[in-house]
């Protein structure tokens, strides 16, 4: 691979280009790293990006977006969007096919990929995205009591409390309302009911509820708490809440979920929404997977066979595009 560090607008990026000559233009893959919007870097996901570029023979652009809590929402989202738009406008420099641009990311990066993908549906001046790849994405902050949050609350690498803590750090750099968010008293009942058609245990297949799930009672919401977190209802922060008119325009999607992951149900709920709106979805579920398994890939004793299976499925999906 040729590997080069550049700036797209004011955003640092690392580009991975296969050295072997190609008869045709290559795929271009934007990659947004995970780390709860708080951690992660171009370095932390270097091995994963190298593997994707090498094995799928694609040009991969890893984005070093600004991190919370120093840079609050929407800084990370704006950096990822701006880097993607810049790439789309300059793809001739990289031998990339404008009809085969893909956005991707893991965890918080999956959240950013979903948000960028939704935003780009409204940009007729740019090429249409070919696909999005969402690796155990976090897609909503209304309900931290979904089955996967209950079942996997203490499973490394992402505990339930930390998931709420990170999204609050990203939202406003302040996690003082973490208890209310966890118990579900941060959103008024009328708003929760409005989104219940999309964010509800009722939309989770029964086989994912057998491991000790208990329905959660709705609690009263204090006005000052809701005032502090009401941007949780913005799709750029919680892409699961986008309107059907946007979801219908999304590109073909690959979603990877892990059984032992608090974010599993976010992926399952989004899969249902996409399918309900006629978007083709390739879903790969790691029965023995846990959150973060892809970023430990290729790390010696930290490497797990499930992570390699996940990567192989992502590469196969890319090769099909």
Alpha-carbon distance of 169 to 179, in angstroms, equals 14
Question: Rounded distance, CA 130 to CA 124, Å?
Answer: 14
Question: Using CA atoms, how far apart are residues 33 and 79, in angstroms rounded to an integer?
Answer: 12
| Longest pairwise C-alpha distance within the chain | 61
CA dihedral 133, 15, 94, 30 (to 10 degrees): 20
Tokens of 285: 């579920």
DSSP-derived letter for residue 193 is H
The CA distance from 275 to 259, in Å, is 20
Q: Are 136 and 264 in contact (CB under 8 A)?
A: yes
Burial of 152 from C-beta contacts in 10 A (0-12 / 13-18 / 19+): buried
Residue among 62, 107, 117, 185 flagged as catalytic: 107
Q: Of the candidates 194, 176, 240, 186, which has an alpha carbon nearest to the alpha carbon of residue 218?
A: 186
Rounded to 5°, angle at Cα 168 from 194 and 238: 40
Residues 45, 32: Cα–Cα separation, whole Å: 9
Q: Where are the alpha helices (DSSP H) in 4-129?
A: 46-56, 75-89, 108-120
The yes-or-no answer on residue 320 being catalytic is no
The answer to whether 229 and 186 are in contact (CB under 8 A) is: yes
* Measured distance CA(66)–CA(76) in Å, rounded: 5
Q: Between vectors from CA 71 to CA 69 and to CA 73, what angle results, nearest 5°?
A: 95
For residue 257, the cross-strand partners are 285
Asked whether 62 and 16 are in contact (CB, 8 A), the reply is: yes
Give me the active site residues, please: 107
């Amino acid at each position: 691979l040729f590997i080069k560090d550049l700036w797209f607008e004011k955003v640092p990026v690392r580009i991975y280009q296969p050295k072997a000559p190609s008869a045709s233009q290559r795929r271009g893959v934007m990659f947004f790293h995970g780390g709860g919007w708080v951690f992660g870097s171009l370095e932390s996901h270097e091995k994963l990006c190298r593997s994707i570029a090498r094995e799928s023979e694609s040009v991969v652009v890893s984005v070093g977006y600004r991190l919370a809590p120093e840079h609050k929402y929407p800084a990370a989202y704006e950096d990822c969007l701006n880097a993607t738009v810049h790439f789309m406008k300059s793809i001739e420099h990289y031998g990339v096919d404008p009809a085969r641009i893909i956005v991707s990311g893991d965890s918080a990066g999956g959240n950013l990929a979903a948000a960028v993908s939704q935003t780009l549906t409204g940009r007729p001046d740019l090429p249409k995205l070919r696909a999005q790849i969402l690796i155990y994405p976090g897609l909503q902050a209304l309900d931290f009591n979904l089955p996967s949050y209950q079942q996997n609350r203490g499973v490394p690498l992402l505990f339930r409390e930390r998931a709420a803590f990170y999204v609050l750090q990203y939202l406003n750099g302040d996690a003082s309302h973490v208890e209310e968010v966890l118990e579900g008293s941060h959103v008024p009942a009328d708003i929760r009911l409005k989104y219940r058609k999309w964010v509800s245990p009722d939309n989770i297949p029964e086989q994912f509820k057998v491991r000790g799930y208990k329905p959660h009672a709705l609690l009263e919401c204090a006005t000052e708490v809701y005032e502090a977190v009401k941007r949780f209802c913005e799709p750029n922060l919680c892409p699961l809440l986008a309107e059907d008119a946007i979801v219908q325009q999304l590109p073909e999607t690959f979603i990877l979920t892990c059984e032992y992951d608090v974010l599993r149900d976010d992926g399952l709920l989004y899969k249902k929404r996409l399918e309900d709106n006629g978007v083709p979805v390739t879903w790969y579920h790691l029965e023995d997977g846990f959150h973060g398994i892809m970023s430990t890939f290729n790390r010696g004793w930290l490497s797990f066979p499930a992570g390699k299976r996940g990567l192989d499925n992502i590469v196969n999906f890319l090769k099909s595009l």
